[in-house]
Amino acid sequence: MPRFTLSPEVADALRRRRPVLALETSVIAGGLPYPANLELAQAVDDAARAGGAVPARVAVIDGGLHVGLTEEQVDRVAADPDAVKASIRDIGRVAAGGGIGALTVSGAVHGARLAGVEVLAVAGVGGVHRGAASSFDVSADLPAFAANRVAVFCAGVKSILDAGLTLEWLETHSIPVIGYRCEEFPGYISTSSGQPNPHRLDDLGQIARAVLAHWDAGAEGGFLVTHPIADQHEVPREQLEVRIAEAEQAARQAGVTGPAITPFLLKELARTSAGQTSAANREVLLSTTRLGAEFAVRLHEARLAGLEPEDHVADGHPADAVLSLSAAGSTGSTGLAGPGRPAEPGLRR
């Protein structure tokens, strides 16, 4: 039986039927040094609020999965040098050890689905790595998208990955990809990855209705919405490709493989670009979060417009079950009998 803890703010937002936006936490623990990482986290949270949504960061803290963090908890994730980057597979191990797990997109999507939060925003998602034909290196983000009904708003896959193969993977697993006002699939800190978006729509409300229609038709997986970094903040793709090749060579010489490869390459790119990629990453993280929050508002409005009062739990959507729990007075630890089902009476709140 899944168990997680909602922050008081997120529990209140769900109870009051306000838009909520899920956010990962690995960017806090695995990026900038403290306190610069804390300042960035606060700026991202502010961007979510400016877009109209309550931010819900997802992390493992004190032996449990948390959806929504207090200011003190965000500071702990940012300041703790022992906080570890964690995906879905690591949640149990980190929780059992009592440490802090700064969750990647895969872990955050998992937590969001359990809590009934239907939108997550992130600058760049994981995907199929370059050379995956021999390494079989595919990010855990992708199967998490296939397994969870969460719409992910992003600026494409991280630049160091293979955008073309990632799109092929998403198509194989029936995960829709729609570009919001963009023909080309974004390249994270570049406006284009060189690949076309499978589809384009120019209205967030229409995209929200498409997401709900996808789920209402019985599809169990997620939905990817992309929008690029602003032109004035991008690192041109041709210039970036040269630096990526150099960073990959440095990784091979250092013997870096597995989960360590992505943070290594990103730090190497920041070093060789004299901080240009880090500045671009900050800009795209803030802009994607703001737009992701606006999309969460549109999806929330579309969800409410399609519900009758008596359908709030019976229609089977995870958010409705959590709202039912919140209405019963739950503002802390929550138990669900399964996605979209109300908790059994007597469960610890």
Is 88 a domain residue?
A: yes
Residue 161, domain CATH? 3.40.1790.10
CB count in 10 Å sphere of residue 84: 17
Is 345 a domain residue?
A: no
Per DSSP, 246 falls in state H
pLDDT category at 34 given cuts 50, 70, 90 is very high
pLDDT category at 7 given cuts 50, 70, 90 is very high
* Residue 85 bears catalytic tag: no
Is 301 a domain residue?
A: yes
pLDDT recorded at residue 306: 81
Q: What is each CA distance from 211 to 41, 49, 169, 304, in whole angstroms?
A: 28, 22, 19, 14
Would the pLDDT of 178 be above 90?
yes
Would the pLDDT of 33 be above 50?
yes
Rounded to two decimals, what is the model's pTM? Answer: 0.87
Residue with tokens 């800009």: 283
pLDDT tens track for 196-254? 999 999 999 999 999 999 999 999 999 999 999 999 999 999 999 999 999 989 999 99
HSE, side-chain direction, 13 A CA sphere, residue 155 = 29
Q: 185 or 274: whose pLDDT is higher?
A: 185
How far is Cα 319 from Cα 11, in angstroms, rounded to an integer?
Answer: 11
* Residue 158 bears catalytic tag: yes
pLDDT recorded at residue 155: 98
pLDDT recorded at residue 62: 94
Q: Which of 9, 85, 118, 158 is catalytic?
A: 158
Is 241 a domain residue?
A: yes
pLDDT recorded at residue 110: 97
pLDDT tens track for 65-79? 999 999 999 999 999
pLDDT recorded at residue 307: 64
Per DSSP, 88 falls in state G
Q: Do 66 and 110 contact (CB within 8 A), yes or no?
A: no
Is 339 a domain residue?
A: no
DSSP-derived 3-state class of residue 263: helix
Is 75 a domain residue?
A: yes
Q: What percent of the chain has a predicted confidence (pLDDT) above 90?
A: 76
Write the DSSP assignment of 13-76 as a string of letters.
HHHTT--EEEE-SHHHHSSSPTTHHHHHHHHHHHHHHHTT-EEEEEEEETTEEEES--HHHHHH
pLDDT recorded at residue 270: 86
Q: What is each CA distance from 135 to 215, 257, 258, 265, in whole angstroms?
A: 33, 10, 9, 16
Look over the chain and give the mean of its residue pLDDT values, rounded to a whole number: 88
**142: domain range?**
3-331
Is 340 a domain residue?
A: no
CB count in 10 Å sphere of residue 164: 16
pLDDT category at 53 given cuts 50, 70, 90 is very high
Would the pLDDT of 330 be above 90?
no
Is 342 a domain residue?
A: no
Q: Do 63 and 98 contact (CB within 8 A), yes or no?
A: yes
Would the pLDDT of 146 be above 70?
yes
pLDDT mean over 26-51 = 95
Residue with tokens 């922050």: 7
pLDDT mean over 182-193 = 97
Q: What is each CA distance from 72 to 21, 34, 69, 178, in whole angstroms?
A: 19, 14, 8, 36
Per DSSP, 234 falls in state P
* Structural domain count of the chain: 1
